[in-house]
Chain A
Amino acid sequence: KNQVEQSPQSLIILEGKNCTLQCNYTVSPFSNLRWYKQDTGRGPVSLTIMTFSENTKSNGRYTATLDADTKQSSLHITASQLSDSASYICVVTDHTGGFKTIFGAGTRLFVKA
């Protein structure tokens, strides 16, 4: 069964610190992996997308990495800000066409002053 598992479930860090969120998936064959940010009460917003051949992608203070061999991805947030408090969702799409897009349950990040 295709799955996307994220860890940790929640994380509390101090403003200015870095953090790394993890995503493991079993989706196969793999097409692409996205990281979304979801603020409370809002819809998810795409941060990065990586295909099979890419192993890193940056968007400002957000850097995503992908290891397609081990089926792992991480999202690194540098110099966290209070506005980074949100849920971060890992989303994997398979390569068979149709809409086999699997959403992880997300990591809830709290950035404290």
Chain B
Amino acid sequence: NAGVTQTPKFRVLKTGQSMTLLCAQDMNHEYMYWYRQDPGMGLRLIHYSVGEGTTAKGEVPDGYNVSRLKKQNFLLGLESAAPSQTSVYFCASSYRGSEAFFGQGTRLTVV
């Protein structure tokens, strides 16, 4: 049982480049989330989805886009990466609003 899997685990981007982070869960959860974690701060919600084909903005959505074309996948896109987007990104899923299960994170550095 893999749980929540994030791809890639590490990435270095140049300013202005684009990339997509992939999150896959095998627990048949309806809800999925993308967070970023920065030093000295709590996790902050970027975007979330309550079901296939639906997405919504979280606390810090600017500069990111998401898509939930399949129930098990939640993609986070950066169209034009900026140094301020250097962070560790976590995907999570849950059965509605219950306990969230997190992936292992993606460490992104934008230079």
Contacts and interface: CB of A to CB of B under 8 A. Distances in A.
Given A41-B105, A43-B90, A104-B42, A99 B58 contact: yes
A45 B42 contact: no
**Contact-residue size bin, chain B (C-beta under 8 Å from the other chain):** 20 to 34
Nearest to A101: B45
A5 B4 CA distance: 28
B102 A45 contact: yes
B45 A99 contact: yes
Contact of B92 (A34, A43, A49, A89): A43
B53 to A, nearest CB: 18
Contacts of A41: 104-105
Interface string A1-45: 000100000000000000000000000000000100000011111
A5 to B, nearest CB: 10
A103 B38 CA distance: 12
Interface residues of A, number: 18
Contacts of B105: 41-43
A22 B3 CA distance: 30
A48 to B, nearest CB: 10
Nearest to B100: A46
Interface string B22-46: 0000000000010100001111110
Contacts of B102: 43-45
Given A42-B104, A44-B43, A46-B100, 10 more contacts: A43-B92, A44-B90, A44-B102, A46-B99, A89-B42, A99-B56, A101-B45, A103-B35, A103-B44, A105-B41
24 contacts: A4-B42, A41-B104, A42-B104, A43-B90, A43-B102, A43-B103, A43-B105, A44-B43, A44-B102, A45-B102, A46-B99, A46-B100, A89-B43, A93-B97, A99-B33, A99-B45, A99-B48, A99-B56, A99-B58, A102-B42, A103-B43, A105-B40, A105-B41, A106-B42
